[in-house]
Amino acid sequence: MKRFIGFIKKEFYHIFRDRRSLFILFGMPIAQIMLFGFAITNEINNVDIAILDHSKDITSQEIINKIASSKYFSIKQLIKNEAEIEAVFKKGKVKAVLIFEKDFSKNLTKENNATIQIITDATDPNTANTISNYTNSILQKYQQEINKNIKTPYQIVPKTRMVYNPELKSVFMFVPGVMTIILMLVSAMMTSISITREKELGTMEILLVSPIKPFQVIVGKVIPYVFLSIINAIVIVLLSIFIFKMPIQGSLFLLGVESVLFIITALALGILISTISATQQTAMMISLMGLMLPTILLSGFIFPIASMPLPLQVISNIIPAKWFVIILKGIMLKGVGLTFIWKETLILVVMTLFFIALSIKKYKIRLE
């Protein structure tokens, strides 16, 4: 036991004396969560638009006021003729131009029909779509206001309710994903690198010749990373609660247990990688290409799995991160208990056992 403690202590020396690994361990989680939380978002805020108002009457003015007062848009420029539209787009100053036709008020009241043209810059299709949707909804609201007194005979009123994330905050979607990536990165990549490093330096050989047992070596190398990964998970959850006001609907205990399970899955993968790679660089490349990319692309955290082509949907099933993202979303956003996520949990448990068994087998072959 005392040997073991000495071993773990040594492992912490390695970690704390290496600035790079320290940065990956503690800088990355915070940087990533901040990036995803603040910078990378699907929402639009204060998008610059231009307005070309041919009528300049009371109605058009009212609509412009509505738009200006919404937090989504800020009116950057008022232009005077169609020729200028192209110019403002090319300068990249504005993302959309709203054009009110001539005699807007008059057309509306006399002919019950007036047109606003919305031209959006679709070099970024997502933003263009969102802008047009937001503008439409502002216009509709205004229409309802002026029609308040008039009764239309038939009307279908859709009442949408967005459950689990009513404000559609993208950060709520990113937190489970980022947590998954970081736990995967820290646990799998860092352990595989630290184990292969011993091989590369030749110290692994010295350890194998010593009375310390091979499984003690591996467990000893892994324990510090379990500890650091748990700290990371806590930091991410705290950041999301206090900075992004993310509600944790479900049980914190269950969240903790599931996180530890996923950490162990990732560590088992890390050990497996270390048994098949001889150098730190190989270990890093395998971790990045074989784990990080699929984790980011196929876990369903950025790109919905349901809209992927079938082969990719099938492949996504073998990505541990996919199941963990489902578990996290369930606990954090929906507040479900184990009864709803036991299947995903079981899958992770089975995967973990499989990876551990496989790495023990590989490890023995190496010792021969």
| Candidate segments 14-22, 80-88, 188-196, 341-349, binder of other proteins by CB under 8 A | 14-22
Start-to-end C-alpha separation, the chain: 27
**Residue from the set 144, 147, 210, 281 that interacts with other proteins by CB under 8 A:** 210
Using the CB atoms, write b or e for 74-99: b if 16+ within 10 Å.
eebeebeeeeebeebbeeeebbbbbb
Distance, CA of 173 to CA of 137 (rounded, Å): 24
- 6 counts as binding other proteins under rule CB under 8 A: yes
- 202 counts as binding other proteins under rule CB under 8 A: yes
Residue 285 · residue 137 · CB < 8 Å:
no
- 357 counts as binding other proteins under rule CB under 8 A: no
* Count of residues of this chain found to bind other proteins when the rule CB under 8 A is applied: 23
Q: Which string of x and - marks every residue 212-251 that binds other proteins (by CB under 8 A)? A: x---------------------------------------
Which of 260, 265, 223, 261 is CA-nearest to residue 14?
223
Q: Which string of x and - marks every residue 257-286 that binds other proteins (by CB under 8 A)? A: ------------------------------
- 124 counts as binding other proteins under rule CB under 8 A: no
Residue 133 · residue 61 · CB < 8 Å:
no
Residue 303 · residue 294 · CB < 8 Å:
no
**Residue from the set 43, 86, 145, 205 that interacts with other proteins by CB under 8 A:** 205
Q: Which string of x and - marks every residue 309-348 that binds other proteins (by CB under 8 A)? A: ----------------------------------------
- 186 counts as binding other proteins under rule CB under 8 A: no
Question: To the nearest whole angstrom, how small is the minimum distance from the Cβ of residue 364 to other proteins?
Answer: 10
Distance, CA of 283 to CA of 214 (rounded, Å): 19
| Candidate segments 10-18, 25-33, 133-141, 319-327, binder of other proteins by CB under 8 A | 10-18
Which strands make up the sheet holding 73-79, listed edge to edge? 73-79, 47-53, 96-100, 116-120
Scan for tokens 């000893």, then name that residue: 220
Identity of residue 228: L
Distance, CA of 257 to CA of 81 (rounded, Å): 63
Distance, CA of 205 to CA of 198 (rounded, Å): 8
Question: To the nearest whole angstrom, how small is the minimum distance from the Cβ of residue 357 to other proteins?
Answer: 21
| Candidate segments 118-126, 199-207, 228-236, 331-339, binder of other proteins by CB under 8 A | 199-207
Provide the binding-site residues for other proteins, judged by CB under 8 A.
2-3, 6-7, 9-10, 13-14, 17-18, 201-203, 205-212, 367-368
